[in-house]
Structure 1
Amino acid sequence: MTPQLTDKYMVTIAERLTSAYARIANAANNAKRSSNEITLLAVSKTKPSDDIIAAYEHGQRQFGESYVQEAVDKIAQLHTFSDIIWHFIGPIQSNKSALVAANFDWVQSVDRVKIAKRLNTQRPADKAPLNVLIQVNISAEEAKSGCSIEQIPELAEFIDHSEQLTLRGLMAIPAKSDNPNEQTQSFEQLQTCFDKLKAQYPHIDTLSMGMSNDVEAAINTGSTMVRIGTDIFGTRT
C-alpha cells in the first residue's frame, strides 16, 4: 500500500512540473515550434517512488533512471502504474544489461555494438522491441560515455537490424558550459548527425538533448525530448 501523500507535497511536485512544461512551451514558441513536438522526460534517479507518484498524479508518464538496481526496485514497487514509460539513461555495464533489457521501455545510452547485442539477445520475447537511442559523446570528453560521431553509422545499422530493438534516434550530454554559443554549437552538431541519420532511417523520431540548464538552447536547435530532474524533484542528495 502506497503511503498517502500530503497535499503540500503533491502541490510542490505539481508546481514544479507545471513550471517545467511552461518553460518548454515558451522555448518552443521562441523557436517557432509546437510544444507538442517536445517530450518532457522527468529524471527521477535517486528519488523515492513517492516522488514519482506525485508527478504521475499530475499527469507525467515518462520517467528516466540511471542506476539499474535502484530503478528495477522502483519499477517493481510501481508495477500497478502500468502506463508509466521507463527510460534508462545511464551507462550500461555488461553484467546489468539483462536487467535493463527486461525492465525498461527505452534505453537512451547505447554506445557500442557489444551492449546493443546483449540487449537484443536479453530482451524478453513477450515484450515489445526495446526503443533505443544511440548516445553520442558530442563533446569528445574522455570521462564521458557515448560513441564518437564516426561510430554512429555502424551502431545504427546493427540496431536497425536487431529483431528485439527499435532504433529511435540519438542522445547526448554535451560538456557543461555557461557560454550559450558553446551550448548551441554542440546541439547543432548533434542535430546535423540526427538529420544525416534520419535520411538513412526515416522512421527515427527522437533527438534527446537538453537538461535543466540548457533547455532553451536544445529546443531552439531541434530537440524532441528534454531530460529534466532537479527542476522537478529538487536537488539530489
Structure 2
Amino acid sequence: MIETAEDAEDSINTSELHTLGTPPSAFPITYDFITCDVVGIDWQTPTIEDGSDYYYKLFTDGEYHKTYGSYTTETTGFIMVVTEGEEHTIKVIAISYSGAETEEEITFFQEPCPLPTDFERNTDYEVIVTARAQNTYITKESTASFTTTNDYPVHRDITVWEAKLITQDSQYFPGQLNVTYSEELVNFDIDKWVAVNYEITNYSIYNSSVSSSVLSEENYNAIAANKTGYFLIEDNGVDNQLNYEVILETK
C-alpha cells in the first residue's frame, strides 16, 4: 500500500510500464491578500472517477516549492510570503497515484501597501499594527485610535482684511460675499473657500480679492446669522488657513 506522496512519486518514477488512470478533476485556484506581503492560496478538493488517491506538487514563480499529500489529501491551500509591487504565479499539479495529473495555475499582482498620509480632518481613526513571525507566519495585532483636528495652521503673514456680505436689497452685488486679502493673489493659491459650513465654489478672482456668485437664500441667511468662514490656501507648498468674520453691507 502506498501511504505518502513521496512513495507514490517514487513508484511512478521507477515503474517501467504502467497504465495512467483517470486524472484529478479541475480545481481552480483562488488567492486572498492577508497582509501587504502575505497571501493565502486555496483551491477546492479535486476528485478522481476511478477512486485513486493523489498528491500535490507546488510551484511558485516558476520554482519548485513543495510536494505534499497523504492518503486523504485534505490540504487544499497554503500561505506564502510575496514581494509587494510584483507579479506572482502559482502552479499546483494534482497527481493521482496512477500517474495521471491535472494542472492549475493563477497569476496575480501584489499591490504595494501605501502608508496612510492623507487623513480626513475632524475624523476618528483606528490604526491596526500587525506583527508577523517570519518562520511560522503567526501574527499579533495591536490597535491604536486617534482623532484628527479640523484646523490647518493659520498663516502668519497673509490675512483677510475684510469680508463683506452685500445685503439682498443692495443696488450693486446683492446677495454676494466679497473678500479682500492683505496680499495679491499671485502670491498664493486658494484651495478652498468656506462660509459657515458651506463651500463656495463659484466665484470671481481679482487682484487681491474674490467675489462669490449670488448666494442662495439658504446660504445667504446662514452666513448672515453666523458671520464666520475660512479659506484654505497654499503658500510655497504649505497649506494654511485664513479665518474671517463677515460684516453686512448695503451698496
TM value normalised by structure 1: 0.18
Larger fraction in helix: 1
Indicate the structure (1 or 2) with the bigger Cα radius of gyration. Answer: 2
Larger relative strand fraction: 2
- Greater RCO, CA 8 A, separation 6+: 1
- TM-score, scaled relative to structure 2: 0.17
